[in-house]
Amino acid sequence: MTTNKINAESMQKAYDENYQTFLNKNHDYGNSFELSLDKHGLVAGIVRISDKYNRLVNLTKNENRVLESKSDTFKDMANYCLMQAVWLEEL
């Protein structure tokens, strides 16, 4: 018997954690992602998302020596994708 790990509660928890990560990173780094989008356009976001994708591929293929987990990388990618979408909607 398998348990249902992906449910409304677990998704809400993940959204809340990602939102807090967004707030913390914006506090520490400033709004560098949006500044990059404003300066370089859509491609700036695509490059950052692509970097996260490539990191996932390498974390999957190779022995991990970094502290960032695959889960953390997926969450970062999700935040970048959502920030990109919000930026596009605000144009």
- Separation of alpha carbons 91 and 88, rounded Å: 5
The predicted pLDDT at position 61 comes to: 87
Under DSSP, the state recorded for 69 is -
User: Which residues, 6 or more positions from 73, have their beta carbon under 8 angstroms from its beta carbon?
Assistant: 52, 55, 56, 59
Query: Does the structure show a pLDDT above 90 at 20?
Result: yes
> Binning pLDDT at 50, 70 and 90, where does residue 90 land?
confident
- Separation of alpha carbons 54 and 59, rounded Å: 9
Q: What does pTM read for this prediction?
A: 0.85
The predicted pLDDT at position 66 comes to: 75
The predicted pLDDT at position 88 comes to: 95
- Separation of alpha carbons 21 and 81, rounded Å: 14
Q: Residues 32-86: pLDDT tens digits?
A: 999 999 999 999 999 999 999 999 999 888 877 777 788 999 999 999 999 999 9
Pick the more confident residue, 90 or 38.
Answer: 38
- Tokens matching residue 17: 């954690």
> Binning pLDDT at 50, 70 and 90, where does residue 1 land?
low
- Separation of alpha carbons 51 and 58, rounded Å: 11
- Tokens matching residue 21: 């990560």
